[in-house]
Structure 1
Amino acid sequence: MFCKNCGKEIDDKAVVCIHCGVSTNSVQDNGGFGWGVLGFCAPIVGIILYAFWKETKPKSSKAAGIGALISVGAGILFYVLMFIIGFLSY
């Protein structure tokens, strides 16, 4: 096979190009909407994914982290509104 960075021939089982040092494994980072939904539905998972992926998959980690933040913010807003409604109805 050939290196995608420098174009030189390398071993088919190589993990790193011996000529330029670039990894032969390509990691997809599309920042999909699904990661944001997962972060919203399970904020702990979203925060963990953000922490582990922030260097290797920045777009996906950002989507999961934003989903988690929106979920936590919506939860806090819900409890504040319930407190105000309960206080006013008493």
Structure 2
Amino acid sequence: MGYRKGYYRKDGTYVQGHYTSKSTSKSKPKSKKGCSLLMLVIVSILGIEACNPESDCPTRKCSDYNSQAQAQQEFNENPSCLENLDSDNDGIPCENLPKN
């Protein structure tokens, strides 16, 4: 870019100095279709990976156990997977079940 000094037009009006582009030809705006397509493909792949239903954690509910002791035993073996059994996060799952 170059700086163009202020000047007077033939009609007498003054044009302030300003920066101008050195190229004389006007360039066409570049198409962004390729970029959009690439982003669509990436988002699609990430979406498919995020929806992968496979998990090492068993899906268990309190109704799957006969007693709180049975639920506690499995909870102690794998607390991160069975954290849904402990609703108040006190380390005691299925508190509504009978103790034995």
Give your verdict on TM over 0.5: no
TM superposition score normalised by structure 1: 0.31
Higher helix share: 1
| Bigger RCO (CA 8 Å, 6+ sep) | 1
TM superposition score normalised by structure 2: 0.29
Higher strand share: 2
